[in-house]
Structure 1
Amino acid sequence: MSEAVTTACIGLRAKTARAIVVVLAGTAASPHAVTRTEIALASAVNPDLFQPYHEVMDLPWERATLAVHDAERAIEGAATRGLKALVDELRSRGMRVSSVGIVGAPQRNLAAIGSPHIRAHAAEGVLFRHVLEVGSAGNDLPSAVHSERGFEAAAAARLRLSIEEMRTVLADIGTPWRADEKAAAMAAWIGLANQLTAKQ
């Protein structure tokens, strides 16, 4: 008789050069935390990957986007490998990952930002969120992207809970939560809720 497979959802909070990870399993009504960790998207071996747009921020925007191409591909590779290692580890524990929820900077018109320094920060916010989408696709995992702006209220609405009710459940399933871990957990929780909706 084969062992039952537990379905899990990965929540990611995109940060500069890393992703905060919280994995939840169970149901939307009764989620439980499986693990919390980080995925490194850059390392000291190649320090240019930490802030690639800062490295070229004095270039005209069109040239800057071309100049970071290789760095972007390298960061996408790190995201894909990091997620694969996580999925493999969860699989070894009898879990199947059904989806990935990603919290990060929303898409925006970067070319319209006048300050090169502010634009570099904004571009990296978009980049480090986007590479997690690429990494998810590279592991054949569907992903849902959530804007970091007003995410707590949006998550509560999606889960059909008040913010206080949602906070209470989060406190029950894992403490202490850092703000970024809470965001990742909420993204994973929405994944569990979406899974239920898909079955109905």
Structure 2
Amino acid sequence: MPLIETRTERLLLRAWRDSDLPALAALNADAEVMRYFPVPLNGEQSAQLLTRMREHLDEHGFGFWALERRDSGEMIGVTGLAQVSFEAPFVPAVEIGWRLARAHWRQGYASEAARAALAVGFEQLGLDEVVSFTVPTNRPSQAVMRAIGMRRDETGDFLHPKMPAGHPLQPHVLYRIQREQWRQAH
């Protein structure tokens, strides 16, 4: 499948380059950025993540893209769509997600990039629904989910199967948006 890339007024959602690894590793090593994940990632783990993201892009034509500022060319994070890779009642599903370097928080980049990713999902890929999920305490990501038109599905909240039983990051909230909701808003 040909690789889909997209852009917004300020951002480019693009394929990964080898030169992105240092910025990705710095992003994933930041304890504040990774506070809603089990642990920050070291350089080798970031390299493995980069390989997995590239493989998903190659296989599906979409995935988690490198998020680049168009004005500076700086790689500032990760945004995109991916097949959910674990078992849950709502799977099979495509999720939307984002992770931005702290210097770029609270500037609207996550919502801007996520809207572009949803447009790819609904307009180019013909998806019926996109989901997103996070831990209940991750209020910033939930704010992005609401800002892009997603709605909380409390009946879909779940215990993340990749987290150990009883771990504080095991409970997750689920948000959804259907293609028809997207069309009505756009």
Scaled to the shorter chain, the TM-score interval is 0.3 to 0.5
Higher relative CO (Cα under 8 Å, sequence separation at least 6) belongs to: 1
TM-score (norm 2): 0.33
